[in-house]
Structure 1
Amino acid sequence: MITIGIDPHKSSLTAVALDETGQLLATRRITVNAAAYKTLTGWAVSWPQRRFAVEGAACLGRGIAQLLAAAGENVVGVPATLASRARLLDTGGTRKTDAADAASVAHAALRHKRLRPVAAENDHTRLRLLSERRDDLARERVRLLNRLHVLLRDLIPGGAALDLTADKAAALLRSVPPVTATDSCRRDLARDMIADLRHLDRRLHANQTQTRQVLAETHSTIVDMRGVGHLIAAKVLGHVGDITRFPNADHFASYAGTSPLEASSGERRRHRLNPTGNRQLNTALHTIALVQARDPGPGRVYYQRKLAEGKTPAEARRALKRRLTNVLYRHLTRDQLKLTTGRVDTQRRS
């Protein structure tokens, strides 16, 4: 098996081929353009038994990694920190060249047995993009509403209510005619902001509709959990991706940042908040925990039991989040098993 390490850049990528013993076979520098993929695979065609290792396969190397994965190539992603450590061990120094970096990526892939395979983008990737876009639009809407509140406060005695919408703001403007030229300027600016607000509302609605459609295509059962709406489900599926990359629920909890950290002192045994892990996924689980702790059901029973054991409300919520992480892991694992079984059955029938 030949390992081809790739060090990607914006305008070029460097590929280095190593044999099973780590000996250098060939090096190639390729300009990143429309023909880069064909050039790379054409160069690598002389090694039928090959594996590609791409540094930063989730960021700068995403483009070439996805093209290779979509073509059915064996591709793994190598974190930049792991590649830099491999370079330090191999050379004993920190001097960098593109060829040396690509060789370090290949060496890391040769030695590390648990690198994450690169999977072709699917519905989960679309859900993550839609979820991130909704977060951007929601933040922009909040910023716009805050600016609109400032203008309305100066135009209208007492300002506007907190639950301000575009229609309410327009009605308030019509009810108070401007007195001075400055007030007329404020009114015109407020009208522009109301138009922008309506535009953002339409885009948020379109995003929500598209998210529902993509979520329906996944046939995920996590929406059956209490507190998991289509927006939370999209965020969870988008950030988790392939659940099979987590060997068990404990690894998944570590990724989600719901594994409590021990903070014991003397005879007192206690745990505290875990600030690591995927914070977007952690936020989604926090929302689910708040809903389940509030509404009647097994989640609230578990939360009340932790309070009765002497835990603070924050500690009880963290315990509930950890419990919900296991439930979520089981849902995602079952969904993946059904999907895999369905594919196998389809292949057998064909």
Structure 2
Amino acid sequence: MKNYKEVVGIDVSKKTIDAYCYHGQVHKEFVNDIVGYKSLIKWVFKVCKEDTVFYCFENTGYYSLKLALYLSSQNIVYVEESPLKIKRSSGIVKEKTDVLDACLIARYAWLYREELKPSTVKSTSHLELGRLLALRDQIVRNNAGLKGTLKEMKVLLSSPTTDAGCISLKRSIEYLTKQVTCIEKRIKEIMSEDTSMQKNYELLTSLKGFGLVVASQLIYHTGNFTRFDNWRAFSSYCGTAPFEHRSGTSIHRRKQCHYLGDRKMKSLLSMASVSAIQHDSELRLYYNKKLAEGKDKMLAVNNVRNKLIARAFAVVKRGTPYVVLQQHAA
């Protein structure tokens, strides 16, 4: 991005977007829709009078997705950055306004323009996969809450089978269960429609502990294994990679996982690790070996998590399913 002469920082909210030209030092508010995006482009061209302009905004989910789709359709260069990176690069900021946020985004993009890379919109199948996985998680959480309420009501009531509240809860639970099944069916259809995704899905499910949800989440978060160069980078993204913490001669702690990371992916890998320890003889021996060395249980589980991540990247890179070596040992 070093060849660009101007950057436009955009603060995206639900109904409006605030744009700020870094060198022009001008600000204007637009509506967060197609009409607003067209007005934004015309305004930037009028103010900057430069063709070498790129746009930068924070990744705010659905709100910023509409803007990204429009800029991509118009072949306009943009960078969709993590809000945390921009916040930590801004120093001490005591005020909070949309105009100031847009200004800070523009400042960040200009100062780090040599390190930034143009963003691209994910394919339609990847976007739908992400929406379905998020919806499934929400429905499963709601269903778990209803099951807990039903369990408590059954204990309090003498005849729960005839109670209207229990009957209503049972119907809701059955309906949500059917919805989860429908979503999972659609997820499988998305996988089957994309040859690369289907192949990677089959490779991942050859690993013990990897089912539909874990494999699908892994494919989505890695961009079908195109977003990260190696398994260590993805381990750092999930928050399972240990980092050093030392300074001089007085501070020297043991390596620990950083609190920043994808908590959902980390939780799924934890459940996959527990399942793999039970059903994979190699990982069970590895886990017991770590415990015998005096390591804490959660530390040993984290080692298994990294083993699973390494195996996932290995089978995808190799293009062949995982084979348990002990089955073929002499």
State the TM-score bracket (shorter-chain normalisation): 0.7 to 0.9
2:12 matched to which residue of 1?
Answer: 8
The structure number with the bigger radius of gyration is 1
Cα distance in 2 between the residues matched to 1:83 and 1:135: 28
Q: What SS does the corresponding residue of 1:4 show, helix, strand or coil?
A: strand
Shift of 1:127: 2.3
Shift of 1:257: 0.9
Query: Is residue 57–residue 78 contact of structure 1 (8 Å, CA) maintained in 2?
Result: no
Q: What SS does the corresponding residue of 1:228 show, helix, strand or coil?
A: coil
Amino acid at match of 1:9: S
Identity of aligned residues (%): 22
1:135-156 per-position Cα deviation (integer Å, ceiling 9, x unaligned): 2222222222222223333445
Amino acid at match of 1:10: K
2:301 matched to which residue of 1?
Answer: 317
Cα distance in 2 between the residues matched to 1:5 and 1:52: 6
The answer to whether the aligner puts 1:36 opposite 2:2 as a matched pair is no
Shift of 1:203: 0.9
The answer to whether the aligner puts 1:328 opposite 2:312 as a matched pair is yes
Shift of 1:254: 1.4
Cα distance in 1 between the residues matched to 2:100 and 2:156: 62
Q: How does 1:1-350 map to 2 (within 5 A)?
A: 1=4, 2-18=6-22, 23-24=23-24, 27-45=27-45, 47-58=50-61, 60-83=63-86, 94=94, 98-112=98-112, 113-115=114-116, 117-122=118-123, 123-155=125-157, 173=161, 187-216=163-192, 217=194, 218-219=197-198, 220=200, 221-241=203-223, 243-261=225-243, 271=255, 274-331=258-315
Q: What SS does the corresponding residue of 2:303 show, helix, strand or coil?
A: helix
Structure 1 unaligned regions, length at least 5: 158-171, 174-183, 336-350
Shift of 1:5: 1.6
When residues 263 and 209 of structure 1 are mapped into structure 2, their CA distance, relative to the original with a 3 A threshold, is same
Shift of 1:196: 1.5
After superposition, the CA RMSD in angstroms is 3.4
> What is the aligned length?
300
Query: Is residue 87–residue 101 contact of structure 1 (8 Å, CA) maintained in 2?
Result: no
Cα distance in 2 between the residues matched to 1:111 and 1:203: 47
Q: What SS does the corresponding residue of 1:210 show, helix, strand or coil?
A: helix
2:323 matched to which residue of 1?
Answer: none
When residues 334 and 119 of structure 1 are mapped into structure 2, their CA distance, relative to the original with a 3 A threshold, is farther
When residues 263 and 303 of structure 1 are mapped into structure 2, their CA distance, relative to the original with a 3 A threshold, is farther
Amino acid at match of 2:289: R
